[in-house]
Amino acid sequence: MQRIGITASKMSKGSLFNYNLYVILIACLLSLFIFLICGFSILLIIFLVSLILHALKPADFHAGWVHMFRICLIVLALVVGIFNLVAIIRNIQFTKNKI
């Protein structure tokens, strides 16, 4: 999380408004990247487990997997959102003396 502030300070070149804007932009892009990578991994794992269970017991389990995937993505979104807020709060500045 400290690297977000270091990168934002190098990109802003002394402007406090640009520094805070870059902190928010970098944190949101990083959170989006983490959400996409983890969401794809969750989708792949649930799909593979569904295939394995369908091969072992050919009943209709596909209706329950959609709800499980939705719950997993909601929890992932909450965790990534909290990470994003912590990263922004730790790096945002109100005075220009630290840049």
Q: Taking residues 69-92, report their average pLDDT.
A: 91
Angle at 86 between CA 80 and CA 87, to 5 degrees: 85
pLDDT value at residue 84: 92
Q: What is the pLDDT of residues 17-76, one digit of tens each?
A: 989 999 999 999 999 999 999 999 988 988 888 788 777 776 565 667 778 888 989 999
Residue 8 has pLDDT above 90, yes or no: no
**Domain layout of the chain by residue ranges:** 2-98
DSSP letters, the chain, are -HHHHHHHHHHHTT-HHHHHHHHHHHHHHHHHHHHHHHHHHHHHHHHHHHHHHHHHS-S--HHHHHHHHHHHHHHHHHHHHHHHHHHHHHH--SSGGG-
In this prediction the pTM is 0.77
